Amino acid sequence: MPDYNTHRAFNYLAFLVISVLLFKLQVVITDIKLFLALGIGFYIGTDFITPDLDIESTAIKRWGNLKVIWLPYKWLFKHGQSSHNILYGAIVRVMYFSIIILAVYYLLFRSLPPEAMISSVYVFIFLIGIIIANALHIILDVLF
């Protein structure tokens, strides 16, 4: 299986190709906020919320002291099985982490006015970025 840096290089090269294609097709990239949401999601999906969070990998080490939040995930999922399912694995990781994010989001932003809230469109595009990055990770694992 490819190592962490190979996955990162493959994903970022693929993102560059995807970005150029989207620009040529005048999709998403014409709205810089949507492109940033996609790019941030892709970055998070490539470097932090990867299929390799169920093993002692470089990705889990990037979390530093916060890697303890992934311990229940490591206990529940075996490496290379459900965690490496293109759609299911990414959705489970996002849902798992969303519980934590939503709690923090609620605590930080509950006192802000409604117009300060993040639009669901940006959240959706952000999640698409994570899913694409995870899918590329799994595709590379299957190829090598």
Instruction: Record the pTM.
Output: 0.85
Encode pLDDT of 53-74 as tens digits: 888 889 999 999 999 989 988 8
What integer is the mean pLDDT of 9-25? 90
Residue 121: the pLDDT is 86
The full length of the chain comes to 144
